[in-house]
Structure 1
Amino acid sequence: MTSVPLITARDLAAVVRTPGGEPLLEPVTVAAPGPGELLVRILASGVCHTDLVAIDGGTGYPLPAVFGHEGAGVVEAVGTGVDRVRVGDRVVLGFDSCGACRACRDGHPSSCARFADLNNAPVRDALSIADSGEALTTGWMSQSSWATRVIARESNAVVIADDVPPSIAAPLGCGVLTGAGTVFNVLRPGADDGLLVIGAGAVGLAAVMAAAVAGCRDILVSDPVPARRALALELGATAAVAPDDLAGLLRTTGQMRYVLDTVGTQPAMDAAMAALGPRGVCATVALRPGANRLSIAQGRLLWGRTLTGVIEGDAVLDRDITRLLALWRAGRFPVERLVAEYDFDDIGRAVADARAGRAVKAVLVRRDATDATDASLREPLAPATEAVAGEASDPLRTLRDRSLSDAALAELWRSLPPVRTDELRGFWRGWAVTTGHRAERLLDRMRWVGKRFRADDDVDPIVCRGADGGLVADTGFSKGGASLWRIERDGVVTAAMVYDALPIVDSFTRLSADAVLGVMGGRDTRDDGREFYFVLERDETPPA
């Protein structure tokens, strides 16, 4: 990285000089971006528990340092070799990964072999004190976003739409991503499953919202703070209790299939394993200083229970942040309910409130925008609009109007809960949502009525109206039958119908108990770049 200064002392960074010390704003000089790097003007940055652990010396990060790793901003310059991100793009900054190791190639970049090197190794030539030239330790989670401008990498930046409020975008870089990603990517609960979340901070409440999206039957929360328990209930929890009352609640609900521990103490782990039923899975995401040794009764594990550690929600940044924004737009993932905004120059109070639990997710916001495109930053965060919430409350009606754009259809599909294969048993009538698509014209000519799912390996993919008016399974076009699988599409692991002899896969998400939204995928299924979306509605008494 070059040390040639690009920005002058107009920039500020929150510098921590002593363990446990308060971050104080100091004028800094920012270096130019090197190969593969970005210069990002920060518009908002979250305060995460991991930042607090690092400030207190729990990670050994050398001081003086600049922390912050939930940055959102505007790209102002790019280094050589950058081709995916452009100047002027709005971005969310997350963790970095190499993209080349076995874990990255397998789709698990948060387990990257170079994670520590890319995210926690000190960088000393990106920010320096303006007057003295003193080098600051930066590169915290490949960003150190408690500054007005930072150096990040193209590999840890996700491009987002210009209209996403920075206060919404920033927490998606770590805390919210960790909670939601652990539910979506690791635990993957279904409609009949129960999930216990221990700790109702930003990570835990993001998990609650994700479990509500997944349609979990029971979503339990344990937290000592009454206000957080109340918020958990508003966000989708079915019960929220103080830790001392958890055992009594479990006697009523029974043990859980899944548990998420966001606390990482011995009492929290004891509660988690006691709540976990046979063959259940407990995911722990908490970070505490040092080795933080915990003990577990080995006998509990013998019943098929699994304890797994998770970093960053096992997320793929671009895939999962895009999905979370789709859920937010649909009114199904109200991140704004977690956020407390603070002016950037009030960072001391933001950190103090985060430590004391007065703020679920403290987010620093710059309201000193000087150009028209950033004028909206001067306004406090507003909740999702009534129009979006209204669409989310009855998406089937919106689909019948066929008024959604192709991009809105893709967002809606990603925002809906996944479907299990056994939920598709029976006959389903279908109708096209994407009008003017060649698949719609083909199905009309075939007099398509719907699909019949007898079992996972016994599917009539195309049921049509025969010449006599009855229903017949078309085997001419389909060249046979189809089968049901659980397949990942756009970050959603859900039921999908795979044709036996055609390179076509129909993937489904749930509109209601008796309606699903399908999207056709596979080779040559797009028409002039457009994907084909359709609805299936359950019909218990199809005509013969």
Structure 2
Amino acid sequence: MKIKAAVARANGAPLSIENLDLEDPRDDEILVRVVATGICHTDLVVRDGHLPTPQPVVLGHEGAGIVERVGAHVTKVRPGDPVVMTYNSCGTCPSCREHHASSCHEFFPRNFFGTRPDGTSALSREGERVHGNFFGQSSFASHALCHARNVVKVPGDVPLELLGPLACGVQTGAGAILNALKVEAGRAVAIFGTGSVGLSAVMAAQLAGAATIIAVDIRESRLEAALSFGATHTINPASTDAAMEILALTGGVHYALDTTGNAGVIRKAVESLAPRGLCGLLGASPLGSEITLDEVHFMSGGRRLMGIVEGDTNPNVFIPMLIGLYRQGRFPFDRMVRFYPFDAINQAIDDMEHGRTIKPVIRLP
């Protein structure tokens, strides 16, 4: 079938809106008519060539839409179902078998290599190969092929166009707090970076009952947003040493979360920990990025550092849970969202990169 898609063709260049050919779904694939797609920082890292995804490629990994067709082996959803498309996984490795699909042994090939496992792509343009299957979906498009492993059926009484961000950015931030760090009630947490991931973490920390929630960012508008979402304190590291401020305020936090992927910020997050404190890292960085820590400070206090992918979530459980909390008014992630028409996707990206929009969501015609 013919579809409309935004194609990344050169590092750092604007996406081009093109008409592409999409193959019919295979026996294990699902054809989804995309209603809306969130834009995530990871899309931009890949667009800029910092991760091993070949171009030309259709990005997009926070898709929400309606199932149009299913392959012969698919029983999880059926045509007409409203769904969210999240990250992909193999389903058979030790991590997947132990219900930690975000640590799938094939996470990079399944999500970043731009092909199906057999090396093919379902996308083309007049015979030219266009890479797809990004995060098992490539949802910067009017239609996407996904898989039973990365599709989640959602309720029909919640605006579907709003739900795409739950597939990655929102579940990553909230899951990092609730599933990976397991923040306990009454504890202190510092969240470095307050984009959509960081603000989702702020909301989750409030849900967890954290007594002190410190938001750290260089943009005052984001810090104001953090306060409205439940932060108890804010720090702008452009005017002060964030780690020193946190230590003065708390004596050291029990949990720190870095959403920036910046090595200098990560060091400050670790320095802000109390003895036996835990720091989580989830920001996307270019391959080969390194961090340095004060070994004596890190070791002598029994401090810990952990990598977090997709919030260590089971999307089939966690996304419906977040929708339930949203319905109750306890997780108002919709306040971060700004909608754009599909043809304005490059403006939406620019607005996100320059801090004018927290979470852009593209509506498909």
1:43 aligns to 2:40 (yes or no):
no
- 8 Å contact from structure 1 (residues 92, 173) kept in 2: yes
Structure 2 residue aligned with 1:113: 105
Q: Structure 1, unaligned stretches of length 5 or more?
A: 1-6, 369-544
Aligned counterpart, 2:257? 260
Matches for 1:84-123 after TM superposition, within 5 Å: 84-123=76-115
CA-to-partner distance for each residue in 1:11-51, whole Å, 9 max, x for gaps?
20001111111111111121111021100000010111110
Give 2:306's match in structure 1, choosing from 297, 308, 311: 308
Partner of 1:206: 200
- Taking the aligned partners of 2:161 and 2:298, their CA distance within structure 1 comes to 41
Q: Which residue of 2 aligns with 1:74?
A: 66
For 2:137 and 2:100, the matched residues in 1 are separated by 20
Q: What TM-score results when the alignment is normalised by the length of structure 2?
A: 0.95
- Secondary structure (helix, strand or coil) at the match of 1:252 reads helix
Residues 1:271 and 1:81: Cα distance change in structure 2 (over 3 Å): same
1:122 Cα deviation from its structure 2 partner: 2.3
**SS of 1:289's equivalent?**
coil
One of 140, 162, 170 as aligned partner of 1:168: 162
Identity across the alignment (%)? 40
Give yes or no for contact 1:167–1:339 (8 Å, CA) kept in 2: no
Which structure's residues are more often strand, by fraction? 1
Please tell me whether the aligned partners of residues 215 and 231 of structure 2 are also in contact (alpha carbons under 8 angstroms): yes
- Separation in 2, partners of 1:25, 1:326: 35
Q: Which ranges in structure 2 are unaligned for 5 or more consecutive residues?
A: none
Q: Residue by residue, what CA displacement relative to the aligned partner does 1:42-87 show, whole Å, maximum 9, x if unpaired?
A: 0010111110010000113111111010000000000121011111
Q: Does the 8 A contact of 1:255 with 1:276 survive in 2?
A: yes
1:128 and 2:124 equivalent?
A: yes
AA in 2 matched with 1:217 = A
Cα pair 2:121 2:133 within 8 Å, conserved: no
SS where residue 209 of structure 1 aligns? helix
**Misfit runs of 4+, over 3 Å:** none
TM-score by length of 1: 0.64
SS for the counterpart of 1:29 is: strand
Number of residue pairs the alignment of both structures matches: 357
Cα deviation code 1:296-329 (max 9, x no counterpart): 1111222111000011101111011011111111
Shift of 1:252: 2.3
The reply on whether 1:220 has 2:218 as its aligned counterpart is: no
What is residue 12 of structure 1 aligned with on the other side? 4
Alignment of 1:105-504 (within 5 A): 105-123=97-115, 124-129=120-125, 132-243=126-237, 244-245=239-240, 246=242, 247-302=244-299, 303-366=301-364, 368=365
- Alpha-carbon deviation of 1:249? 4.5
Aligned residue type for 1:191: A
Partner Cα separation in structure 2 for residue 225 and residue 286 of structure 1: 17
The root-mean-square deviation of aligned C-alpha atoms, in Å, is: 1.2
The SS at the match of 1:99 is coil
Cα distance in 2, alignment partners of residues 19 and 191 from structure 1: 44
Alpha-carbon separation, structure 2, partners of 1:169 and 1:343: 16
Q: Distance in 2 between matches of 1:69 and 1:45?
A: 7
C-alpha contact 1:199 1:221 (8 A) present in aligned 2: yes
Q: Is the 2:246–2:253 Cα contact (8 Å) retained in structure 1?
A: no
Distance 1:241 1:168 in 2: 30
Q: Are the aligned partners of 2:82 and 2:160 in contact in 1 as well (CA < 8 Å)?
A: no
